[in-house]
Amino acid sequence: MNRRRVSTVVVVLAILGASCGSDSSPESGTGDATSATSVATTAAPTTQPPAPPTTLPPITLPPTTTIAPEPDQAEPVTVAGFRDQVIAWMSGDGEVSQADYERIFSPQFQSLASLDEVNAIWGRTAPLGPWRLAETLGEDSTGGGFILEGSAPEPKFLLTIDVDDGRVVDALIQPWAPPPVTFDEAAAAVDGLGRSSYLIAETTSGACVPVVDSGADDIIPLGSVFKLVVLGAVVDAITEGSLSWDDPVEIRDELDSYPSGTTQDVPAGTTMTVRELAELMISISDNTATDHLIDLVGRETVEATQSVYGITQPALNAPFLTTRELFQIKLDAELRAQYLAADESDRRVLLDDVATRPLTDVAEAVSGWNGPIELDTLEWFATPADVCRVLMGLNADPDAAAILQISPGIPDETGRWTTIGFKGGSEPGLLATAWIVTDADGRTFTITGAVVSEGLIGNITGAGAFAGLRDQFEAP
C-alpha cells in the first residue's frame, strides 16, 4: 500500500504539520514542504495607505487522507473551480455559505477552521481587489499552485490547492515574492528572515568541504530535518540484517501524532512496509510514520545513530523525542516547564508519563500554535555541518538516496542539478532545510541550515530564499 502523493507544487512540509503551514509560519509544528496547510494569509507585504494591512490571523490546517464526498454532494470540487471561487471571494464577491462550506471542504479541514474563520479572510483581501490569476505554476486534477494579484502591484499571493475525491483537503494562501536571481539576493533574503546559519559544502573524499560557511558550526534547531537521523537508523538496521524494507509494520493508535502526514488516519491494525513509512516520513514529513519507525528501531538506537552519521553533540537530543512527545510537551506549559527543568534521567522517566496522556489533551493548543515556543531549548539540534555529514552518509545508500529524491522541496528552475535530495522542517519561528544535489559533472553538494525568528517565517518565501542559495552559489 503506497499512500504517497506528491503535489504538483512542492512546498516545505512542516515538521509537526498542523502549526506550520502559513507563510507567516510553518507546515507544521513538526513537518517540511510544506506541506503544512493553512488557509490564512500572514505577514503579507505592507501596502501603501490608505489600503488596510494585509496581515491575517493564521489558521493552520493539516492535510488529511482520502475522504469520499457525501452522497448528496451535487458536484465534486475541481482545482480550477475552487481557484476561481477563491478569487471571487477574495475580491469581495460574497462569502462561503454553510452549505458550500460543508460541500467543498473535507471534514478534517472543517474541524480546524470554522466557517467564520474562513470567511474572515475575504474581508481583509477584498479592499485590495479585484483579484485575478497572474500565473499558474502547475496544475493537475489533484492540485495546483497559482499566483494571484490585486489592484496594486503588491502584495501578490500564492494559492496552493489539494483536492481529493471531490473535496478540498489542503488550501494555502501566502504572500508571494519572486525567488532570488543572484546568490547575494538569496543570502540577503535568508539573513532578512531572522537569525540564520547555513553551510554550502561539496562532499568529496568522504568529507564536507565548505564552499560558503555562514555559521556551519552553530547549533541550530532542526524541525523535521531530524527525520534524516531516523532514516539513518532504519538504513543501518537493514544493512545489519535486523530489518528489511519490505517488513510489515502494524499501525497503532497510541503512536498517532498530528500532521503533517497521512498515517495518523490509517486504521489501527493496518500494516504498512518499512519502505512506505520511510518514504512518507521524508517526502511529506509524515509525523506518525516517523514515530512508528522510531518505535520500530528503538529510541536508544536512534540516539546512537547520531554519532555514526556525524552529529557532534548527540547529547543535545537525549532523550530523542518523537513528534508526538514534542507536541505534548511543547504545547503544555506546565509539562514543558517540568521537562526543561529535569536532567536527562528524569526526562526519560517523564516520557513514560507522557506516553499515557491522550494526544487530544493538546488539540486546542495545536490549532492555535501561532508563535515560537522554546526553539533554542525544546527541539532537535545539530549544526549545519552535522547535517551535511548525515546527508552524505544517507546518500551513499541507494535506497535512502532514492527516498531523499522523492521530493525536491523547491523545484530547480535553473536546470542546474541532475538529482536533488531534500528534507525540510518548520514550526512557528523556525525554518530548516537540507539539500543534497548533484550536477552534470557528477559533483555533489549539500545546502544545510536554518533560520530562527522571534516572529513568524513564511515557508514558501523562506524556502525560496534557501533554494536561491542552492541554485545560485558559485562552485569552486
**177-219, pLDDT tens digit by residue?**
777 889 999 999 999 999 999 999 999 989 999 999 999 999 9
Same domain, 232 and 359: yes
User: Using CA atoms, how far apart are residues 307 and 263, in angstroms rounded to an integer?
Assistant: 29
C-alpha grid cell for residue 420? 536533488
Q: What pLDDT, on a 0 to 100 scale, did the predictor assign at position 390?
A: 98
For the stretch 145-186, pLDDT in tens is 899 999 987 788 889 888 888 999 878 787 777 778 899 999
The better pLDDT of the pair 455, 279 is held by 279
The better pLDDT of the pair 238, 461 is held by 238
Same domain, 438 and 422: yes
Same domain, 255 and 371: yes
pLDDT at 36 over 80: no
Same domain, 158 and 225: no
Contact 433, 466 (CB under 8 A): yes
User: 49 in a domain, yes or no?
Assistant: yes
User: Using CA atoms, how far apart are residues 447 and 244, in angstroms rounded to an integer?
Assistant: 30
Contact 234, 293 (CB under 8 A): yes
User: Using CA atoms, how far apart are residues 362 and 355, in angstroms rounded to an integer?
Assistant: 13
pLDDT at 55 over 90: no
Averaged pLDDT, 84-93: 93
Contacts of 286 (CB under 8 A, 6+ apart): 259, 260, 261, 262, 263, 277, 280
pLDDT at 257 over 70: yes
C-alpha grid cell for residue 152? 496594486
If pLDDT is split at 50, 70 and 90, which confidence band does 31 have?
A: low
If pLDDT is split at 50, 70 and 90, which confidence band does 311 have?
A: very high
pLDDT above 70 as % of the chain = 83
User: Using CA atoms, how far apart are residues 334 and 145, in angstroms rounded to an integer?
Assistant: 41
User: 6 in a domain, yes or no?
Assistant: no
pLDDT at 431 over 60: yes
If pLDDT is split at 50, 70 and 90, which confidence band does 464 have?
A: confident
Q: What pLDDT, on a 0 to 100 scale, did the predictor assign at position 120?
A: 85
Contact 421, 218 (CB under 8 A): no
User: Using CA atoms, how far apart are residues 137 and 160, in angstroms rounded to an integer?
Assistant: 9
Range of the domain at 52: 38-176
Same domain, 306 and 252: yes
Averaged pLDDT, 249-255: 97
Chain center to CA of 149: 25
Same domain, 342 and 265: yes
Contact 244, 238 (CB under 8 A): yes
Contact 383, 312 (CB under 8 A): yes
Domain boundary among the residues 113, 145, 176 is at 176
User: 10 in a domain, yes or no?
Assistant: no
Residue 367: its H or E element:
helix 363-367
Q: What pLDDT, on a 0 to 100 scale, did the predictor assign at position 242?
A: 97
Domain boundary among the residues 159, 176, 193 is at 176
Averaged pLDDT, 296-310: 98
pLDDT above 90 as % of the chain = 62
Contact 316, 381 (CB under 8 A): yes
Integer CA distances (angstroms), 345 to 193, 212, 315, 351, 381, in order: 36, 39, 12, 10, 19
Same domain, 129 and 225: no
User: 25 in a domain, yes or no?
Assistant: no
Q: Is the dihedral of CA 409, 59, 322, 217 positive or negative?
A: positive
User: 22 in a domain, yes or no?
Assistant: no
The better pLDDT of the pair 268, 61 is held by 268
- The region that residue 107 occupies, defined by phi over 0 for left and psi between -120 and 50 for alpha, beta otherwise, is alpha
Domain boundary among the residues 144, 176, 208 is at 176
User: 4 in a domain, yes or no?
Assistant: no
Q: What pLDDT, on a 0 to 100 scale, did the predictor assign at position 116?
A: 87
Same domain, 240 and 387: yes
Average the pLDDT over each of 55-64, 72-81, 342-351 and give the range with the smallest value: 55-64
Q: What pLDDT, on a 0 to 100 scale, did the predictor assign at position 74?
A: 55
Give me the number of domains the chain comprises.
2
User: 206 in a domain, yes or no?
Assistant: yes
pLDDT at 351 over 60: yes
Same domain, 218 and 265: yes
Q: What number of other Cβ atoms are within 10 A of residue 202's Cβ?
A: 17
Averaged pLDDT, 265-291: 96
Strands 220-221, 381-382: pairing is: antiparallel
